[in-house]
Amino acid sequence: MRIFDPHIHMASRTTDDYEAMYAAGVRAVVEPSFWLGQPRTSPASFRDYFDALLGWEPFRAAQYGIAHHCTIALNPKEANDPRCVPVLEELPGYLVKDGVVAVGETGYDSMTAAEDSALAAQLQLAADHGLPALVHTPHRDKLAGLRRTLDVVRESALPADRVLVDHLNETTVKEAKDSGAWLGFSVYPDTKMDEKRMVAVLREYGPERVLVNSAADWGRSDPLKTRRVADLMLAEGFTEDDVDRVLWRNPVAFYGLSGRLALDVAPPGPTHEGNSVLRGGE
Amino acid sequence: MLITREELLARLSPEGADWLDLALAEAQEATRRAPGAPPEPGAPGWQLRFAAAGRACGPQAAEAARVLLLRTACPDAAAVARLYERGTGAERRAVLLALPDLPLAPDEGVPLVEDALRTNDTGLIAAAVGPYAAAHLDAHAWRHAILKCLFTGVPVATAEVADRARGDRELARMLGDFAAERTAAGRPVPDDLDRVLALTAEGA
């Protein structure tokens, strides 16, 4: 079984996770840029983060046989912080990079005017750079947030079929599907979606344009949730082809819209005993 | 690593070869700007192509394409530093590999090598420990670079390492201590260590 996790924050995860993910079948990930849990206070802090997503993290992933790409954006939460907003001016310099396969995560957190303008500006950046966009939907007031998101997408230069609307659930999937956007579901231990609900959604709405991710980060989350969904799909009567479609071909098709996916992994440098992610003392 | 334009073109698809021709023409154009002319707005075209080389040439040929672009454009120290500092891992490797061919003073190029040597990315470390580092790092930094290569499994039995290691007793001491530490831990000593150690004994 081959798995593509289209949304996972590997900067927060350990090499044990990479090892377990590879063993579970994960061969490719996309790491969207997001909030760090601790607020940033300047664009320089974003730059260091983006550089890690384009250097150190793909290097780490390659040591474990996993292809790593990223999406770049000012996230919705920090779009509200005037100290962070100037990073928008630096995004074009990153959006030309080979490892960047979308603009994201952009979207709404608290549905403020500042989030409105950051979302609209970043959808335009995606259109300008030939990239699709990963749009986060809010965790609070989700249905209203989804509707406002879809309105902004409709008004943008980016067609809906180049937009992945993420963190969907039973209450938002229908309107998102009707919009023509790609449909992202984050499967979590407690919150967002779980495996059973995910399989029920797949049964009701079908596997077309559906992507399933773990969205694993620094909070309570599980980088193997993609595999759990795949296993439950098979147990509940979906075919191996359905599983491959949802967990591999759909994310490849969506991020492939960038023209920048490179899924063959060659470790970028020599390794030490198969693992050069070493620390002092080793 | 220093492959020619013709060798690189032969490796590329027709589309990749056309792309590289245009990119190199833009890089050539950049060298014709009058010295001291005010910078034009936005990044120069060849620098955008420097960023896009992976998707245009394929990940295997991208490094050689980037090095060729740098050697053709001959950017000044400020531009080289910016390309490195704002570069992806792959772009930083290309800058490091091109350093011997760029018109930089040692105090402009060495900080980039030192930055790469502070990382734990073996791709960057390997690109940093080349002829430029052998020519310009001071003795202490050079010895630590060799030791870091051995520590992280980067091959060091290269010609430039051989030349500089000859007769270096302090390097011999460091290698001996490292080997003893590995042995004490029941871990293998890297094969390259003995090769470099043998060189330090030559001409001593």
Do A268 and B53 count as a contact with CB atoms less than 8 A apart? Answer: no
Do A262 and B52 count as a contact with CB atoms less than 8 A apart? Answer: no
Give residue B38's pLDDT.
72
ipTM: 0.91
For residue B2, give both structure tokens: 């220093």
Q: Give the type of residue at A187.
A: V
pLDDT in tens, A110-140: 999 999 999 999 999 999 999 999 999 998 9
Share of chain A above pLDDT 70, in %: 94
Q: Residue A272 is nearest to which of B62, B92, B152, comparing CB atoms?
A: B152
Q: Residue A269 is nearest to which of B86, B122, B151, comparing CB atoms?
A: B122
What residues in A contact B154, CB-CB < 8 Å? 269-270
Would you call the peptide bond into A105 cis, given omega within 30 degrees of 0 as the criterion? yes
pLDDT in tens, B82-131: 999 999 999 999 999 999 999 999 999 999 999 999 999 999 999 999 99
- Distance, in angstroms, between A60 CA and closest chain B CA? 8
Can you name the CATH fold of A3-256?
TIM Barrel (3.20.20)
Q: Least CA distance to A271: which residue of chain B?
A: B153
The CA-CA-CA angle for residues A134, A136, A142, to 5°, reads 145
Phi and psi at residue A101, to the nearest 5°: -110, 0
In which band, very low, low, confident or very high, does the pLDDT at A41 lie, cut at 50, 70 and 90?
Answer: very high
In which band, very low, low, confident or very high, does the pLDDT at B160 lie, cut at 50, 70 and 90?
Answer: confident
pLDDT in tens, B168-201: 999 999 999 999 999 999 999 998 999 999 999 9
Number of CB pairs < 8 Å for A and B?
79
In which band, very low, low, confident or very high, does the pLDDT at A265 lie, cut at 50, 70 and 90?
Answer: confident
Do A273 and B153 count as a contact with CB atoms less than 8 A apart? Answer: yes
> Distance between the two ends of chain B, CA-based, in angstroms?
32
**Total residue length of chain B:** 204
How far is the C-alpha of A158 from the C-alpha of A137, rounded, in Å? 17
What residues in A contact B119, CB-CB < 8 Å? 56
Domain residue spans in chain A?
3-256
User: What is the rounded average pLDDT of the residues A220-236?
Assistant: 97
For residue A216, give both structure tokens: 């694993």
Q: Least CA distance to A272: which residue of chain B?
A: B153
Question: A206-240 burial, b for 16+ CB within 10 Å, e for fewer?
Answer: ebebbbbbbbbbeeebbbbbbbbbbebbeeeebee
Read off the pTM: 0.93
Q: Residue A269 is nearest to which of B53, B54, B126, comparing CB atoms?
A: B126
User: What is the rounded average pLDDT of the residues A245-263?
Assistant: 97
pLDDT in tens, B49-90: 999 999 999 988 999 999 999 999 999 999 999 999 999 999
How far is the C-alpha of B52 from the C-alpha of A98, rounded, in Å? 6
How far is the C-alpha of B64 from the C-alpha of B122, rounded, in Å? 18
In which band, very low, low, confident or very high, does the pLDDT at B1 lie, cut at 50, 70 and 90?
Answer: low
What residues in A contact B43, CB-CB < 8 Å? 93
Residues 6 or more apart whose Cβ sits within 8 Å of residue A162 = A126, A132, A133, A257
User: What is the rounded average pLDDT of the residues A76-88?
Assistant: 97
Question: Strand, helix or coil at A193?
Answer: strand
The CA-CA-CA angle for residues A128, A132, A135, to 5°, reads 115
Q: Residue B120 is nearest to which of A47, A58, A278, comparing CB atoms?
A: A278
pLDDT in tens, A60-74: 999 999 999 999 999
Q: Least CA distance to B58: which residue of chain A?
A: A262
What residues in B contact A282, CB-CB < 8 Å? 151
In which band, very low, low, confident or very high, does the pLDDT at B204 lie, cut at 50, 70 and 90?
Answer: low
User: What is the rounded average pLDDT of the residues A162-182?
Assistant: 97
Examine the pLDDT at B133 and tell me if it is beyond 70: yes
Do B153 and A276 count as a contact with CB atoms less than 8 A apart? Answer: yes
- Give the containing element (helix H, strand E) for B45: helix B45-57
User: What is the rounded average pLDDT of the residues B20-48?
Assistant: 86
Examine the pLDDT at A282 and tell me if it is beyond 70: no
Q: Least CA distance to B127: which residue of chain A?
A: A269
A→B interface, C-beta within 8 Å: 47, 51, 54-56, 58-59, 93, 96-99, 259-260, 262, 264, 266, 268-273, 276-279, 282
**How high does pLDDT run on average in chain B?**
92
How far is the C-alpha of A59 from the C-alpha of A68, rounded, in Å? 8
Q: Residue B48 is nearest to which of A56, A59, A96, comparing CB atoms?
A: A96
Q: Residue A270 is nearest to which of B48, B92, B153, comparing CB atoms?
A: B153
